[in-house]
Amino acid sequence: MRTDVHSDVRVNDFVVKFANVNGSGSASANGLFARAILRMGVPVAARNIFPSNIQGLPTWYEVRVTGDGWRGRRGGVDLMVAMNPQTWDKDVAELEPGGWLFYDSTKPLQPSRFRDDVTVLGMPLTAICNATYTDARQRQLFKNIIYLGALSALLDIAPEEIERLFGEQYKGKEALIDANRKALAMGREHAQQAFACPLPIRVARSDRVGERIFVDGNSAAALGAVYGGATVAAWYPLTPSSSLAESFGSYCRKLRTDPATGKKRYAIIQAEDELASIGIVVGAAWNGARAFTATSGPGVSLMQEFLGLAYFAEIPAVLFNVQRGSPSTGMPTRTQQADLVSCAYASHGDTKHVLIFPEDPTETFAFGAQAFDLADRLQTPVFVMMDLDIGMQDWLTEPFEWDDAKRLDRGKVMTEAELEAGRDFGRYLDVDGDGIPYRTYPGTHPSKGSYFTRGTSKDRYARYTEEGPAYVDNMQRLLRKFETAKSLVPAPVITRASKPTRSGVIWFGSTGAAMSESLAALELDGIHLDRMRLRGFPFVDAVADFITAHDHVFVVEQNRDAQMKSLMVNECGIDPSRLISILHYDGTPITARFITREIAEKARVFNVTPLRRTGAA
Amino acid sequence: MRTDVHSDVRVNDFVVKFANVNGSGSASANGLFARAILRMGVPVAARNIFPSNIQGLPTWYEVRVTGDGWRGRRGGVDLMVAMNPQTWDKDVAELEPGGWLFYDSTKPLQPSRFRDDVTVLGMPLTAICNATYTDARQRQLFKNIIYLGALSALLDIAPEEIERLFGEQYKGKEALIDANRKALAMGREHAQQAFACPLPIRVARSDRVGERIFVDGNSAAALGAVYGGATVAAWYPLTPSSSLAESFGSYCRKLRTDPATGKKRYAIIQAEDELASIGIVVGAAWNGARAFTATSGPGVSLMQEFLGLAYFAEIPAVLFNVQRGSPSTGMPTRTQQADLVSCAYASHGDTKHVLIFPEDPTETFAFGAQAFDLADRLQTPVFVMMDLDIGMQDWLTEPFEWDDAKRLDRGKVMTEAELEAGRDFGRYLDVDGDGIPYRTYPGTHPSKGSYFTRGTSKDRYARYTEEGPAYVDNMQRLLRKFETAKSLVPAPVITRASKPTRSGVIWFGSTGAAMSESLAALELDGIHLDRMRLRGFPFVDAVADFITAHDHVFVVEQNRDAQMKSLMVNECGIDPSRLISILHYDGTPITARFITREIAEKARVFNVTPLRRTGAA
Amino acid sequence: MTYLAKPKIHHPSLARNALGFTRRDYEGAISTLCAGCGHDSISAAIIQAFYELDVPPHRVAKLSGIGCSSKTPTYFLGNSHGFNSVHGRMPSVLTGAALANRDLIYLGVSGDGDSASIGLGQFAHVMRRGVNMVYIVENNGVYGLTKGQFSATADKGSKSKRGAVNSDEPIDLVTLAITLGATFVARSFSGDKEQLVPLIKAAVAHRGAAFIDVLSPCVAFNNHPGSTKSYDYVREHNESVNFLDFISPREEITTEYAPGEARTVVLHDGGTVRLHKVGRHYDPSDRAAALGYLETHRAAGEIVTGLIYLHADSADMHDALDTIETPLNALGDTDLVPGSAALVRLNASLR
Amino acid sequence: MTYLAKPKIHHPSLARNALGFTRRDYEGAISTLCAGCGHDSISAAIIQAFYELDVPPHRVAKLSGIGCSSKTPTYFLGNSHGFNSVHGRMPSVLTGAALANRDLIYLGVSGDGDSASIGLGQFAHVMRRGVNMVYIVENNGVYGLTKGQFSATADKGSKSKRGAVNSDEPIDLVTLAITLGATFVARSFSGDKEQLVPLIKAAVAHRGAAFIDVLSPCVAFNNHPGSTKSYDYVREHNESVNFLDFISPREEITTEYAPGEARTVVLHDGGTVRLHKVGRHYDPSDRAAALGYLETHRAAGEIVTGLIYLHADSADMHDALDTIETPLNALGDTDLVPGSAALVRLNASLR
Ligand SMILES: Cc1ncc(C[n+]2csc(CCOP(=O)(O)OP(=O)(O)O)c2C)c(N)n1
Ligand SMILES: Cc1ncc(C[n+]2csc(CCOP(=O)(O)OP(=O)(O)O)c2C)c(N)n1
Ligand code: SF4
Ligand code: SF4
Ligand SMILES: [Mg+2]
Ligand SMILES: [Mg+2]
């Protein structure tokens, strides 16, 4: 195997991938690796690729070190930390030519198992551990820290940053801090002796991280729910949404415990299933509490009947849908944006629902809070459409912000005073012409404002009727209400290309991470596209205007059936032929490389770049 | 009140409406009325309008006597049989000017409760009954037969036909036959004395009924399932679908009891809910039996998760969806076509399902049988999309037909012999390029052909994998399979207008009943439309071709959100602006009058009839 | 509204309770159920109980699923908010409502199909959770609203109006509720006001999950073997047209019998049920004993009525969750929103 | 596949059973569960039982829901068809399969979350229906696959790895199954092959709904209060990173004790369960007695194991439905399609 010297030094711009075994303690070690680089002021984009398993199956952690601060996956690997014999061949194959392969050389391997075009860095990790530790579990646990030490030497990562992180992580557990320090040093020394450190790919301190924080979207959503005034959460464990409900619990313990009594200003129910979760949310919201559930596709499927009831009974319910690969028994640990139709038109009958699409944890926090205002204002279910990539991955993202002047908008709720004053109350009466009626909380007034809640078969005063005209009247009001929703959901973000163009591109959610990088690449390639990032459904007119203002508009989605395109065509009544789908749905987060390639290809076909092509003539 | 003589006699062309109280025995009497007219060779279109109640609430029965054999509601009433004091005013108001009002005159009513422009026919029914019967329940029960007698005199309905029906209905119960005969005669005599019989609206024997039968769609579907070879039915009571499962039971008792042993060649489970119903169907179909469930919107909502599993695990399941007003707690006794989206894209994730749309009981029988071949051939769920109007109303419809040469198509099932012969078996292997793989029934072969069934996370040989490429490969095959489905589902029925035109109209399902009449009216009005009746989803290319071949195409649907239009735009990629929606969704069956008015109006706007308008200039 | 004669709820006087409300203040819209339906008797008992309890009507929330029984909340407590939710899922909706405002009284009304068939899971879990509520099942062994199919409480071997025979084991919701941890479990008969009204009052007073199974004969479809051998126009008529074309208006079935006694009640179609009322000295606090008592009488073909199990000083869901005394739906911005300062600290911890 | 050392299923010999199959013929793919997971011991017991029963492997259909437990059918009977359905709904899928072909053996494998939480309704109704099957719940009191939340069988007051305390009443599936009409109800412990293997064999032989609740410790998340007070690197480490970063490979927990005896089993994290094996003279045929026995031992903090209730000559679902002996999935056109002649008569009756 070759070990020639690389001339071209690449600082703060490379991809390291860790191949590990699930439950072997690597997760925390790899996390330290990423965070140490961040502490050096160098941005990273890190992603965990894990199986539907608790212990024993392969798991990967990919860290893109990117001084430019790109947030998506780049594709390709420069340094592979191959700690899992079972996936060795696949892992080795994934390396870019000229890359580096770090592995445990305790057991010798056939030369055939290596590649000629990569540099091999073997280190007898098991041997070192066996020599140092007696307890089997310690041997396994500290092996991770030892390779972390080696990497810090190879990539020039400041060990003091790692040690500081030890201190924070094991606060008060001196024995652990010590043991980890020793293991780290051991790894560093061994690497410094064995290899020419640092490698051409290396980390150099910088100031590109700034105020940004490193956090996952599920935590951000949970925090958003706290700030949004949610008091009731009902959920059923479902990957990848479980950690959302669980962090809501931990944030509430910190932020919502009554100082005086030590009692809780919130209630969390782990229900028996998703039907019960949404039922609890509906009951709580009907009774005036802000309530939410966190779930994923299979849960949304089970909630369909209740969602129809909530639409017709006009109950403000908030759902966080952390989308994953479909269906129920498939790809729970993979990411997708494939529940758009099942959420937008959830339930049988004529129903339409409000969706909002955050692009990263920062926006997830903001939208997570806003969702409750939207739900109360519109008296209807609101879906915060996340995905596994946003929800379960740690993102380097702008810090959370809150305007203390802001007040919770509880929407149209008629008070005891108003009722007492004789104000006319009709639960389904469109008093303001915006399609939104007033509601009362149960128990408000001894003799006024009580009503019986039903799906339909009711008139404007909530009296039972099976009359056709009353039904139509109510259904049309619901459409007016949906009209009103257009101006309340977050507006799309529209930005012009650097050069005038007749083509555009539309995306939403986690795709943004790869999009900006791809658009930069396309511009270099002479392909200029005006941009629209969708953030809410139903769509404001600006969406249709953007599309009709261009000859061709690419729609980038992470699903098979171009579901967002369907929503736009249905709701905006535009000609589908203008929309060109770029679809990625293998369960991995979409990459800039993929988008760039696909758009460049189709751009030629659809003759998107006339200027450039004439220039070439 | 006026009782002047009407000059214009209208034979076999009028509408009679009965206003009754639920559970008062009127249903059977009214049924006799309609069937007696049929026995005279005169077509009727009869509809029951009933509440979500067992006893005491208002219920109506509308009989359109139509020599021309129109099947839809006409709108308007010529003779109102007003037997329900509670709905009196509404019922009286519904009469056409010059119409007739038949009522129980035992208690005198204020003149103000009547109308000057209708002829009132009062008959002291209660008084007659009280004079004749002692038992309170007999008084109530025979009151219905007495007014039936009166009507037979007023409308010239042959009493012998009614008596023959008594004989058939109460076969072997002489006492009942007798009692009914007497009551009928009583009513006739009283009417003949009191009124100038017959009225100008009257029935005259004819030969327009022919071979046709009088049956409801739920019975037809159940019979279709018997002929389609269904052996397992699992259901949960849900109006308006319950009678489908119940008649499957009665037909099976007759047609599927093993003569030798008296044992059953079928199994019916009334499950604990819809999740269990579809689960049972999925399990039975997986294990090689033909299985179905009958349900309505709320049930479909609860089945969403299982439907996703069935799509990905490729299980042939048949669902009869007897659509009703949405949502769960509303309008269960009203008709709608509003579950198209929730069925076509049932479940979260990327899913597409096969739908077929019968237009009447005759087609429901045929499609009901065919659905099982489709499901087995395509190894996917198949929805037979009915509605309350087809399912629960008695239709005058063509007799059921069956070709004894036809064999059940069990689709691609690999046999023990083939496996033994060493034929390669991959559960998800696209051997024929049509996207349809082979399956094996459990227990087929000791060592070959067994596989583990999962949603996704599998390769072509059903081995577990979470690899992206394997996922994409499978998802694309499923799309190929859906392509294949296009040519297997019933093709649309396309007919040209009598004059060349640049406009067309599309409809499906029960709307057909009113459509033909409306089209005739429109032609008289100079509006010529080419016609396409959709019968299956996914759509063959002919659907897109029909649309693109016209400038404007009206799409007539019985839902608020133009759901069929959405399906066409999504799947055929056509410009929505060509499609003009005609939407009716108040829960009553759509009428010819409504369609004609709506189309005529919009036709002018969309300038559909240039010829005529230039002619008018 | 209903258009056939039916027993009206009587107003012997317009007496007022401690709060000055008359019984009318606890009534609702006129019932649209079949004349003589047991459910109407239960509604009357509920009205009576709340009147006697001196509860302000609007401080009660009525929740139900779907069914004839689940319709009844429209017919009592007209000044309370009501929620006719979805079939079999009332328990979860009630749980959510109870979380939002611990100060109201929660009355869940359901049917045997709603609670024992489609709703069994939610029924079980709401009992386990100790939600502070009164949960009444109006138990007639059939699906009334969908026209008489068996529910999961129908006796094995019983025959439906359509002649189908039930082969599944019946579910005894009382046994189930006890084994699942309900802390107040009782059974009664719709027509036995003497027993039912006090039970409802005690259930309201109880803190935690209180369940009352009320046998409530269905006039239209009750599934006990018809015993009238006498010639019957109506039965013959309905049989020949083979659907329920005519429903005879009936009187409500009432019964009165002393604690410790057993009583056979004859139903509208001549079928019977044998009820056994727990005696004055019956001790409802012993869970094992209660289960045994039910099992022995079941074996003897008797249905036990009365307060069957009681765990007096039990903790409810809010105790378990340790929620604040103020109703959650009454908390304001300052109670709920931590503000920007806290956020700054949080951001810092994420770098 | 799994990449950490774990107890392999041993092959002392390649002995053949009456049908000439070796034990290997009853095995499946290699387990991907955590080393030491009780579920693997149960898989081994299933393999052993079917081997000893001389059942042709392909005549068994394995059905499960979702969960670590529901994954196990991949790890045994590799020549049987398997169906990993949806969470909590295996009972309905199994019911359908059993209807389609009464000649196969149906083995349902589920978890406590799958059967007692989301699946409680279907669990109850499949027992009532007397479906001819063996239904095994691999009961660890937690949701393993979703990382250790409580299931509905978790003891009240038990603490999760995340420190949450369970406040709901636990569900005893054995008591439930008996009250719901299951005709074979047993309980065992994953590590007690001496007891478990014969129980599985008896369950397969039983005609009707046979249920076995198998306590099966979860290595990763079992929710008994950790009692190891000794300093533990791994525990401290996992606590500080506050997720389950490292899972220590463990040996399976086995136990052996005689009928009539009680035995305390120590779990991986030092927690304990006390098992009481029914004695040789215990009479499982008395339903009331069985329920009482369970209740008394429960009160004494003991979990009863063994064959707890048996109703020997019971009728199954097919008997109740009176279905033909030929499997429904084997009936052909002539058995199923009445043909045009019958249709002509039907048409005539509709005029
Ligand atoms: C999801 C769903 N499935 C089925 C129905 C139809 N349905 C309405 S009420 C009912 C049963 C009611 O029985 P029960 O709860 O005993 O009430 P009862 O009418 O007997 O008082 C059914 C099956 C429904 N409304 N929703
Ligand atoms: C509808 C749905 N909700 C939630 C989940 C997530 N989920 C998978 S397994 C599981 C619980 C498994 O617990 P248990 O049945 O006890 O099995 P164990 O892993 O403990 O063996 C859950 C909640 C799912 N797959 N489907
Ligand atoms: S059908 Fe039965 S339950 Fe329903 S209202 Fe009538 S009597 Fe009561
Ligand atoms: S998490 Fe628990 S149940 Fe799941 S495999 Fe590991 S030990 Fe077994
Ligand atoms: Mg009932
Ligand atoms: Mg478990």
The residue of chain B with its CA nearest to that of D339 is: B404
Residue A75 pLDDT exceeds 90: no
Query: pLDDT tens digits for A193-229?
Result: 999 999 999 999 999 999 999 999 999 999 999 999 9
Say whether B276 and D350 touch across the interface (CB within 8 A): no
Query: pLDDT tens digits for C70-109?
Result: 999 999 999 999 999 999 999 999 999 999 999 999 999 9
Ligand 3 proximity of C265 Cβ (cutoff 6 Å): no
pLDDT at C161 (0 to 100): 64
Lowest mean pLDDT among A367-376, A428-437, D139-148: D139-148
Mean pLDDT in residue range A527-531: 97
pLDDT at C238 (0 to 100): 77
pLDDT at A609 (0 to 100): 53
Preceding peptide of A198 cis, ω within 30°: yes
pLDDT band at D11 (very low <50, low <70, confident <90, very high): low
Query: pLDDT tens digits for A507-526?
Result: 999 999 999 999 999 999 99
Assess A311–C contact: CB distance below 8 Å, yes or no: no
Q: Dihedral sign for Cα B219, B224, B229, B234, please.
A: negative
Residue B615 pLDDT exceeds 50: no
Token pair, residue B58, equals: 């208002």
Q: Dihedral sign for Cα B444, B447, B449, B452, please.
A: positive
Distance (Å) from the alpha carbon of A402 to chain D's nearest alpha carbon: 27
The residue contributing the CA closest to ligand 4 atom 2 is D218
Cα distances from B555 to residues A258, B225, B352, B389, B547, in angstroms, run 59, 30, 22, 19, 10
pLDDT band at D161 (very low <50, low <70, confident <90, very high): low
Mean pLDDT in residue range A549-561: 97
Ligand positioned closest to the Cα atom of D268: 4
Assess D347–B contact: CB distance below 8 Å, yes or no: yes
| Interface A:D, Cβ pairs < 8 A | 119
pLDDT at B54 (0 to 100): 83
Q: What percent of chain B has pLDDT over 90?
A: 89
Helices (H) and strands (E) in chain D, counts: 12, 11
- CA terminus-to-terminus distance, chain B: 47
pLDDT at A7 (0 to 100): 61
Token pair, residue A173, equals: 């557990």
Assess B77–D contact: CB distance below 8 Å, yes or no: no
Task: Judge whether B411 and B377 are in contact, CB under 8 Å.
Answer: yes
Assess B41–D contact: CB distance below 8 Å, yes or no: no
Q: What is the DSSP secondary-structure string of C25-64? A: GGB-SPP-SPTT-HHHHHHHHHHHHHHHHT--GGGEEEEE
Residue D138 pLDDT exceeds 50: yes
Query: pLDDT tens digits for D56-98?
Result: 999 999 999 999 999 999 999 999 999 999 999 999 999 999 9
A283 closest CB neighbour out of C93, C125, C333: C93
pLDDT at B607 (0 to 100): 67
Query: pLDDT tens digits for B232-255?
Result: 999 999 999 999 999 999 999 999
Contacts within 8 Å (CB) and 24+ apart, A169-175: A169/A28, A169/A32, A169/D240, A169/D241, A170/D236, A170/D237, A170/D240, A171/D240, A173/D236, A173/D240, A175/D231, A175/D236
- Could you tell me which residues are beta bridge partners of residue A533? A493, A507
The residue of chain D with its CA nearest to that of B405 is: D339
Distance (Å) from the alpha carbon of A451 to chain C's nearest alpha carbon: 5
Token pair, residue B2, equals: 């006026």
Backbone phi, then psi, for C184, in 5-degree steps? Answer: -140, 110
Assess A70–B contact: CB distance below 8 Å, yes or no: no
Say whether A454 and C84 touch across the interface (CB within 8 A): yes
Task: Judge whether B140 and C237 are in contact, CB under 8 Å.
Answer: no
Stretch 169-188 of chain A: residues touching chain D, C-beta under 8 Å: 169-171, 173, 175-176, 179
Pocket of ligand 1 from Cβ distances under 6 Å = B 236-238, 274, 298-299, 302, 328; C 66-69, 87, 111-114, 138, 140, 142-146, 151
Residue B166 pLDDT exceeds 50: yes
Q: Chain D residues with CB inside 8 Å of B285's CB?
A: 96, 100
Query: Alpha-carbon distance D43 to A120, whole Å?
Result: 42
D99 closest CB neighbour out of B272, B280, B444: B280
> 3-class SS at B87?
helix
Assess B288–D contact: CB distance below 8 Å, yes or no: yes
| Residue A298 half-sphere exposure toward CB, CA atoms < 13 A | 27
Q: How far does residue C169's CA lie from ligand 5's centre (Å)?
A: 16
Query: Alpha-carbon distance D244 to D252, whole Å?
Result: 20
Strands A58-66 and A44-49: antiparallel
Query: Alpha-carbon distance B563 to B338, whole Å?
Result: 7
pLDDT at A610 (0 to 100): 45
pLDDT at B570 (0 to 100): 94
Query: Alpha-carbon distance B587 to A285, whole Å?
Result: 29
> 3-class SS at D1?
coil
Beta-carbon count within 10 A of A465 CB: 15
Query: Alpha-carbon distance D343 to B226, whole Å?
Result: 11
Q: Dihedral sign for Cα C335, C340, C344, C347, please.
A: positive
Looking at A258-313, which runs of residues are DSSP E strands? Answer: 267-270, 291-295
Q: Chain C residues with CB inside 8 Å of A234's CB?
A: 92, 96
pLDDT at D270 (0 to 100): 75
Residue closest to B275 by CA, chosen among C175, A536, A298: A298
Burial of B331: CB neighbours in 10 Å, binned 0-12, 13-18, 19+ = buried
Which residues have CB under 8 Å from B246's CB, separation 6+?
Answer: B222, C162
Mean pLDDT in residue range D166-191: 93
Helices (H) and strands (E) in chain A, counts: 21, 23
pLDDT at B411 (0 to 100): 98
pLDDT at D239 (0 to 100): 75
Pocket of ligand 2 from Cβ distances under 6 Å = A 236-238, 274, 298-299, 302, 328; D 66-69, 87, 111-114, 138, 140, 142-146, 151
Which residues have CB under 8 Å from A424's CB, separation 6+?
Answer: none
Residue C246 pLDDT exceeds 60: yes
Q: Chain C residues with CB inside 8 Å of D121's CB?
A: 118-121
Query: pLDDT tens digits for A315-354?
Result: 999 999 999 987 766 578 899 999 999 999 999 999 999 9
Stretch 114-133 of chain C: residues touching chain A, C-beta under 8 Å: 121-122, 125, 129
Say whether B55 and C117 touch across the interface (CB within 8 A): no
CA trace torsion B301, B305, B308, B310 (10° rounding): -100
Ligand 3 proximity of C35 Cβ (cutoff 6 Å): no
Assess C303–B contact: CB distance below 8 Å, yes or no: no
Best residue in C153, C167, C323 to probe D by mutation, most D CBs within 10 Å? C167
Say whether B301 and A348 touch across the interface (CB within 8 A): yes
Q: Chain A residues with CB inside 8 Å of D220's CB?
A: 23, 54-55
Q: Chain C residues with CB inside 8 Å of B23's CB?
A: 4, 34, 220, 244-247
Task: Judge whether A118 and A138 are in contact, CB under 8 Å.
Answer: no
Angle at B25 between CA B19 and CA B29, to 5 degrees: 75
Query: Alpha-carbon distance A245 to A223, whole Å?
Result: 10
Assess C17–B contact: CB distance below 8 Å, yes or no: no
Residue B276 pLDDT exceeds 80: yes
Across A2-11, A168-177, B401-410, the highest mean pLDDT is recorded for B401-410
Looking at B50-142, which runs of residues are DSSP E strands? Answer: 58-66, 77-82, 95-104, 119-123
C295 compared with A315, residue with greater pLDDT: A315
The residue of chain C with its CA nearest to that of A427 is: C81
Q: Chain C residues with CB inside 8 Å of A287's CB?
A: 61, 96-97, 100-101, 104, 329
C220 closest CB neighbour out of B55, B86, B328: B55
Q: Compute the mean pLDDT over every residue in chain A, rounded to the nearest whole number.
A: 94
Q: Compute the mean pLDDT over every residue in chain B, rounded to the nearest whole number.
A: 94
Q: How far does residue C254's CA lie from ligand 3's centre (Å)?
A: 16
Mutate to test the pocket of ligand 1, among C136, C142, C143, C173 (most ligand atoms within 8 A of CB): C143
Q: Dihedral sign for Cα A511, A516, A519, A521, please.
A: negative
Query: pLDDT tens digits for B312-348?
Result: 999 999 999 999 987 766 578 899 999 999 999 999 9
Token pair, residue A354, equals: 């409000």
A261 closest CB neighbour out of C324, C328, C351: C324
Say whether D291 and C291 touch across the interface (CB within 8 A): yes
Task: Kindly report the length of chain A.
Answer: 617
pLDDT band at D162 (very low <50, low <70, confident <90, very high): low
Residue C170 pLDDT exceeds 70: yes
Beta-carbon count within 10 A of C169 CB: 21
Q: Chain C residues with CB inside 8 Å of B84's CB?
A: 3
Assign 3-state DSSP to chain C and report helix, strand, coil percentages, each to 5.
35, 20, 45
D300 compared with A146, residue with greater pLDDT: A146
Lowest mean pLDDT among A547-556, B5-14, C46-55, D192-201: B5-14
Ligand positioned closest to the Cα atom of C140: 5
Ligand positioned closest to the Cα atom of A304: 1
Residue closest to A489 by CA, chosen among A532, A539, A531: A539
- Please identify which residue in the block is written with the tokens 């608790």: A54
The residue contributing the CA closest to ligand 4 atom 4 is D144
Which residues have CB under 8 Å from A171's CB, separation 6+?
Answer: D240
Token pair, residue A117, equals: 């075009």
Query: pLDDT tens digits for C103-156?
Result: 999 999 999 999 999 999 999 999 999 999 999 999 999 999 998 888 999 887
Query: Alpha-carbon distance B483 to B488, whole Å?
Result: 10
Q: What percent of chain A has pLDDT over 90?
A: 89
Ligand 4 proximity of D141 Cβ (cutoff 6 Å): no
Name the DSSP letter for residue C18. T
Mean pLDDT in residue range A481-489: 98
Query: pLDDT tens digits for B179-219?
Result: 999 999 999 999 999 999 999 999 999 999 999 999 999 99
Residue closest to B269 by CA, chosen among B299, B236, B238, B220: B236
Q: Chain C residues with CB inside 8 Å of D128's CB?
A: 152, 168-169, 171
C330 compared with B455, residue with greater pLDDT: C330
Assess A214–C contact: CB distance below 8 Å, yes or no: yes
Token pair, residue D169, equals: 């009443």
Token pair, residue B347, equals: 């479940």
Assess C94–B contact: CB distance below 8 Å, yes or no: no
> 3-class SS at D338?
coil
pLDDT at A6 (0 to 100): 52
Distance (Å) from the alpha carbon of D203 to chain C's nearest alpha carbon: 20
